[in-house]
A and B are shown apart, each in its own frame.
Chain A
Amino acid sequence: MNQITVEIKDQKDIITARQAVRDMARKLGLRLADQTRLATAISELTRNVIQYAGNGVCAIRDVSDAHVLRIVAVIEDFGPGILDVEKAMTYGFSTSKGLGAGLPGSKSLVQEFDIQSKPGNTKVTIVVCRRRV
C-alpha cells in the first residue's frame, strides 16, 4: 500500500496535493480523464480547507487489488465545521463568494463520497475505482 500525506496550509499546498494524486493515478494506470477528475476533486476539497478552516491534511492512498484500481483520499481539517452539510452539498450554495460547485462538483467526479462534519473536525473521503483491464 502506497500512501502520500500532504499538509494543507496555504494555496501552494492545493497544487502539491493535486499533483500528488495525479502522479499516483497515472502510475497506477488510471486513464487521463480519471486522473483529471481526481486532481480536480482534490483541488476543490483542499481549497475548502484553506478557505474555511485555514489548515488541514490530505491523505491519498492506493488500495488497489488484483481486480480493481482504487484510490482513496481523505481530506480533513480542524476548522469550525459545516453547519448544514445537506445544504453545503447543494449546487449553488456557498457561504463564501464561491460558485457553490465545490462539494457537489467533487461528488459528481468520484465513485464514492462521504462527508462528516462537526465543530472542530470536517472529514471528506473520496474514492475513485476502476476495474483493471
Chain B
Amino acid sequence: MKIPILKLGDTLLASIPEDLTDEDAIHFQTDTLEKVKKTEAGGVVIDITALQVVDSFMARVINDTANMAKLLGAEVVLCGMNPSVAITLVEMGRELIGVKAVLNLEQGMKALRKLIDKK
C-alpha cells in the first residue's frame, strides 16, 4: 500500500491509513524523506486520525521519521491522535512519542507554519 504524500506549498501532508503493515510503515518513512528532499519542503504534517492502534513499532516509525526529517532540515507535526491511542501509548511506557503533536489537521498546518517561519 502506497500512502499518498501531498504537497501544499512548501509543506507536505500525509494521512496514515488504518492497519498498515510494518513493511508499509517503513516504506512510508522512506517515501516521506525522499519527498521532503525532492520538493524541498519545510515540513510535514502526519495525520494519524485513522489509526486505532499505535503500538511501539508504529510509535518508533513515527518518531524516527520526525528525527530523520529534522536531519534533512524539515519539521514534523503529528495530528489527530485518538484519545484511546494516547492512553495506550502513555500507559505502555516512557516517551514512545516525542514529536510535536496537535489536535487536528487545521492546527497541524498552523503549527507547522509557525515552526517553519521561526527558522
Q: Which residues of A contact B (CB under 8 A)?
A: 11-12, 14-15, 18-19, 22, 32-33, 35-37, 39-40, 43-44, 47, 91, 98-99, 101-102, 104-106, 108-109
Contact = CB atoms under 8 A, between A and B. Distances in A.
A33 B84 contact: yes
B92 to A, nearest CB: 4
Contact of B87 (A19, A36, A104): A36
B22 interface: yes
Best-buried of A11, A33, A36, A108 by chain B (most CB within 10 Å): A36
Contacts of B96: 99, 101, 105
Contacts of A22: 52-53
B62 to A, nearest CB: 12
Q: How large is the interface on B (under 10, 10 to 19, 20 to 34, 35 or more residues)?
A: 20 to 34
Chain B binding surface SS class: helix
Interface string B51-71: 011111101100000000000
Contacts of A47: 22, 55, 57
B26 to A, nearest CB: 11
25 contacts: A15-B19, A18-B53, A22-B53, A33-B83, A33-B87, A35-B84, A36-B52, A36-B82, A36-B85, A36-B87, A36-B88, A37-B84, A40-B53, A40-B55, A40-B88, A43-B53, A44-B55, A47-B57, A91-B93, A91-B94, A101-B56, A101-B92, A102-B55, A106-B92, A108-B93
B56 A36 contact: no
B91 interface: yes
B84 A108 contact: no
